[in-house]
Structures are given as C-alpha cells and as structure tokens.
C-alpha cells in the first residue's frame, strides 16, 4: 500500500472527508469498497454514515471527495433500504443489540 499523505495539505481537503483525493493510501483503499470500509473504525463509520445521509439530502454534500463517493453511495443505499423495510430514519444508525453502544 502507498503512503499516507498529509491530508490538510491536499487541494480540496475538508476535515469531514472520509477518504481524501490526492492521498495515495486513501486512493489505494478506495479501489475496493470492501477494503475502504474495512478501515473504518467506529467513529469513522459513524461519520461516513452521517455523510452518506447528507449526500442524499436536498442540500447534498458540498465537500465530498471523488474517492469517497462509492463508500457514501453504498451506505446511503443501505440507509434507504433500512428506512423502507424497518422505518429507520435516514442518518440514524440502528441500535446495537441489547442497547450496548
């Protein structure tokens, strides 16, 4: 895998982005949706879930990077299905079994 770039120095950088355009390691991870998402820790997954919801809201997502869109689109599609099948509001994560967090 390529090295991680200093994200703050990259053109178009936004701190909310999950994967950053111009970073070789982020680019390598983004080549496979499964690989990209396997790197998400709990906080990053929660942030990605919220960004995915924002990406399909009327205002959209103003600071999306090109390489994070496949992850956000997949998460948004899951959210739509959870809303249709379970009534879970878009942007809300399902509760952990037994109420654990």
**Domain annotation covers residue 99:** no
For residue 32, what are the contacts with CB-CB under 8 A and spacing of at least 6? none
**Domain annotation covers residue 41:** yes
Expressed as residue numbers, the domain containing 33 is 7-88
**Domain annotation covers residue 70:** yes
Q: What is the Cα–Cα distance from 28 to 3, expressed in whole angstroms?
A: 10
For the chain, what is the domain count? 1
**Domain annotation covers residue 95:** no
* pLDDT for position 40: 94
- pLDDT tens by residue, 52-76: 999 999 999 989 899 999 999 999 9
The residue that leads in pLDDT, 77 or 98, is 77
């Amino acid at each position: 895998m390529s090295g991680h770039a200093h994200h703050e120095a990259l053109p178009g950088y936004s701190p909310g982005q999950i994967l950053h355009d111009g970073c070789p390691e982020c680019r390598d991870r983004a080549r496979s949706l499964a690989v990209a998402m396997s790197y998400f820790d709990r906080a990053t997954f929660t942030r990605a879930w919220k960004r995915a919801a924002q990406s399909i809201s009327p205002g959209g997502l103003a600071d999306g990077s090109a390489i994070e869109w496949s992850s956000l689109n997949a998460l948004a599609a899951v959210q739509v299905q959870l809303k249709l099948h379970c009534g879970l509001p878009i942007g809300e994560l399902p509760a952990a079994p037994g109420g654990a967090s």
